Amino acid sequence: MPELVLVTGGTGYIAGWCVAELLRRGYDVRTTVRSPGRQQAVTDAVSTVCDPDGRLGFAVADLTADAGWEAAMKGVERVLHVASPLGVSAQSPDLVTPAREGTLRVLRAATAAGVRRVVMTSAANTASPSSYASEGVTDETLWTDPEDPALIPYRRSKTLAELAAWEFMRGHHGPTELATVLPGAVFGPVLTADAAGSVGIIARMLSGAMPGVPRIGLEVVDVRDLVDVHLRAMTSPAAAGERFLATGEFVWMADLARFLREGLGERGQQVPTRRLPDFAVRFAARFRDPALREITPALGRRNRHTTEKAARLLGWQPRPARETVLDCAESLLAHGAVPVPAAQRP
């Protein structure tokens, strides 16, 4: 009988791909949704790349509440904890509590059920210099300092959630094992038209909604490669108790624009090529768009990570950034997920 794997947050971009790939590899899958009304959307999304064939089930559970998690874990052998709490924004005064408490809810339920292994999705910026003031290449031994007052709320929440997970497991003496995966900027094909997260950057570039490209560097990882490293961490004996960076090639946003313009021809003509000077981005962040404040510390920085550990212990290798970005763009266009700027609407 195939193993049953629980994936948290099946409506999410990464989680949807996790569900699809697990099914494709022959696992039985259960995924959590916040309400029964979301089940069909997950089934429809997954069905675009594989046939669920009666092997996909659902559990109603929310990271912000205890209800449903015991039932979600029943009969489960392994867990991919991919979901992040919803209902909060980057400008929320408290991202930490829902992120940390949601993680602990999953771990409490998993350990109580005797799950063999939990793989948690963290973020590469939990293993980065806190202030971006220094540059270089870092590995999994570095932890972002969550007490740094300059740290943006998102980075603090991801760091404290992962720290809480490891602290919880240090006090657990049962059979459950933990591994964490720390991705960079996740791009690649989408399963639905609801582009979210970093994929939305590509959609905005294609639409011409961006006036230019800031001097921001990204470590691009393909969602398909990210799912692959999750599954390797889920099954490899060497992964127990380990963190794994899952970043890809470092590229500037100007490189993303070049990939799109060159690779898409006429369909990429709305992609901006003008490079925004740092002072213009800082000015806009201060007076026009407060959401930009979270990227200004990274302007011009080349903070990078090494994935040597994932390669050595798991045999993992990400694909080139250009391939990922173009596959992402083609998918967004095929799904009609590129927004039409207000100035171009009839």
Kindly report, residue by residue over 209-256, the tens digit of the pLDDT.
Answer: 888 999 989 999 999 999 999 999 999 999 999 999 999 999 999 999
Quote the radius of gyration of the chain (alpha carbons, Å): 20
- Per residue in 136-186, pLDDT (tens digit) is 899 999 999 999 888 888 889 999 999 999 999 999 999 999 999 999 999
Helix/strand number for the chain, H first, E second: 11, 12
Q: Residue 195's pLDDT is what?
A: 64
Contact 334, 190 (CB under 8 A): no
Write the DSSP symbol of residue 275.
B
Q: Report helix angle 96-113 to 153-170, nearest 10.
A: 30
Judged by phi (left if over 0) then psi (alpha if -120 to 50, else beta), residue 192 lies in beta
- Kind of pairing between the strands at 78-81 and 117-121: parallel
Amino acid at 286: R
Write the DSSP symbol of residue 66.
S
In the predicted structure, residue 29 carries a pLDDT above the cut 90: yes
pTM over 0.85: yes
- Percentage of residues in the chain having pLDDT higher than 70: 92
- Kind of pairing between the strands at 185-187 and 243-246: unpaired
DSSP string, 70-92: HHHTTT-SEEEE-----S--TT-
Q: How far apart are CA 202 and CA 54, in angstroms?
A: 34
* Secondary structure of residue 252 in the 3-state scheme: strand
